[in-house]
Amino acid sequence: MDWQQVRDQFPHAWVVVEAIDAYTEGAKRIANQLHVIEVFGDNWKHAWDKYRQIHRSDRWREYYVLHTDRVELNIGVMDEFRRVAS
């Protein structure tokens, strides 16, 4: 599903998602298709715990912790020194 569908289905919630169809454009990551892993309501700490757990098990997959109040996805890209690319 796309980001708007995620927002519609899970309003006002923290979610852990996997980007299924994504690419880099300039200094931004564009995610066209997302798979919702889990929904956490107001509990951002549990969302981050889940993210860390699944990220450790497979670092090659693209996971994000996001809040559905965010209108647009604005995912920055980091360079090799862990700085936000510009």
Q: What is the pLDDT of residue 27?
A: 85
Q: What is the pLDDT of residue 33?
A: 97
Q: What is the pLDDT of residue 84?
A: 63
Q: How far apart are CA 75 and CA 64, in angstroms?
A: 9
* Predicted structure pTM score: 0.87
Residue among 80, 77, 62 nearest 26 (CA): 77
**In tens digits, what is the pLDDT along the chain, a chain of 86 residues?**
999 999 999 999 999 999 999 999 988 999 999 999 999 999 999 999 999 999 999 999 999 999 999 999 988 887 666 666 65
What is the 3 state secondary structure string of 20-84?
A: EEEEEECCEEEEEEEEEEEECCCCHHHHHHHHHHHHHHCCCCCEEEEECCCCCCCEECECCCCCE
